[in-house]
Structure 1
């Protein structure tokens, strides 16, 4: 498979922790890696929700196809959408399938009629994102990013630190992220590792720095999550 690198730009969105991004397709196949996030996209004159991915999403796009999207911080989109993340795992659905026809139509008309759809999408989402961040989910996310699951206490220790049982923690993570804490840790760690590898750092050093047992472990995990080994992803 040919991996196509498309022109891509992003900046902080009006919603705290989110990113506003735009892309113009160069044509051909593309691969989107799991990152623990959910997106609301304006594409093909429609609003599409991209659920959390547990594996790479691949597709094709005609040259010149334009996209604008809001990438919510991990765990933030379900409150905005009103749908648990687990129901959208590895899915792409129209916003109209999640909201009432009138509500989704108002938002879509606002973006369609704007001279700058990306800016209109950003402003529309910000005007509707009224729910404050879930502090427990923020704490869980911060702890996982800090690598607490790779210590001796693991999930049991993380659950205790936020006042939940392991089962309660798993359920809250499914609703917020689409998968349990261990899977979220794998996804987030892989992205950190790939970002480090893109700086030119040797893969063996990346593996050590990001908590993999060795380079072989890093390679296996990347291939399991994306379908290809890191050297292919990195080009």
Structure 2
């Protein structure tokens, strides 16, 4: 990846939802803003647990959100998926992450200059070509908007929040009041400092779950404790609230091996996941 993009882009990958007629993926909350660009067929997006929320988009920008979304792609189930750190949204797309929070929006409506990107990606014949095309589009955005983005200050703010579970400690580390910190984060991200910390904790737990499933198995109670939850019951409640399912149900849906019944069927500390 271009060194100029490295501070702003967390991931840039190809994806494949499977060889079936329709591919389905559950998009979980995270501390980044995601952009999903199908190779050919549009995506259908619906918020889990919200009837009537389904919408069809050619390319999707998903802002910070605290609940899961279901992505369905029929026909060709491949495409490009990238995630932007919150400061990168303003620097590359020209809008604050707050403008996207809680929403899924067509990429063309966010950045009109990128309206033709999906069709141009379809014409590419290889992943290196697609990756290079996306990087060029992002660099063009950086040239247009980058100088107006105070990404250094925001990166320091988010690092302080991610480094502690208490907003007050983050504000003391940054040398500002809690009220000021709350105002800055709400204005730039569209979520409260506590909600951002909640996203970071959930994202951390998700990474540990995946690692556990691939490393032979670990008690969910240990994942919960290592990720900052009070106990496994707290972890499972939070996972249900944010993912719309239990941790083991999610792992099974993602094709990761699990041993034992789903969360809630065992006493805290008993459930294990394994690869």
| TM, length-normalised to structure 1 | 0.80
Give the distance between the partners of 1:111 and 1:133, measured in 2 at CA.
31
Corresponding residue pairs, total: 217
Give the distance between the partners of 2:86 and 2:72, measured in 1 at CA.
26
Once the two structures are superposed, the pairs formed by residues 72-151 of structure 1 within 5 Å of their partners are 72-99=84-111, 101=112, 103-105=113-115, 111=121, 113-115=123-125, 116-130=129-143, 131=146, 134-146=151-163, 148-149=164-165
Give the distance between the partners of 2:31 and 2:92, measured in 1 at CA.
16
Tell me what 1:208 maps to. Answer: 225
Residue 192 of structure 2 is aligned to residue 172 of structure 1: no
CA contact (8 A) 2:30 2:199 kept: yes
CA contact (8 A) 1:37 1:75 kept: no
Give the distance between the partners of 1:106 and 1:57, measured in 2 at CA.
25
Note the C-alpha offset of 1:20: 0.8
CA contact (8 A) 2:33 2:85 kept: yes
Tell me what 2:36 maps to. Answer: 41
Residue 201 of structure 2 is aligned to residue 189 of structure 1: yes
Tell me what 2:258 maps to. Answer: none
For residue 6 of structure 2, the aligned residue among 16, 23, 26 is 16
For residue 60 of structure 1, the aligned residue among 72, 88, 97 is 72
Give the distance between the partners of 1:106 and 1:59, measured in 2 at CA.
21
Residue by residue over 1:132-174, the C-alpha shift from the partner in whole angstroms, topping out at 9 and shown as x without a partner, is: 662222122222322x22xxxx222312322333232123222
Tell me what 1:232 maps to. Answer: 249
Any stretches of 5+ residues in structure 2 without a counterpart?
A: 43-57, 253-275
Give the distance between the partners of 1:93 and 1:176, measured in 2 at CA.
18
Give RMSD over aligned pairs.
2.5
Give the distance between the partners of 1:54 and 1:93, measured in 2 at CA.
16
Higher deviation after alignment, 130-139 or 186-195 = 130-139
CA contact (8 A) 2:24 2:72 kept: yes
Describe the SS at the equivalent of 2:71.
Answer: strand
CA contact (8 A) 1:39 1:71 kept: yes
Any stretches of 5+ residues in structure 1 without a counterpart?
A: 1-11
In our comparison, the structure showing a higher alpha carbon Rg is 2
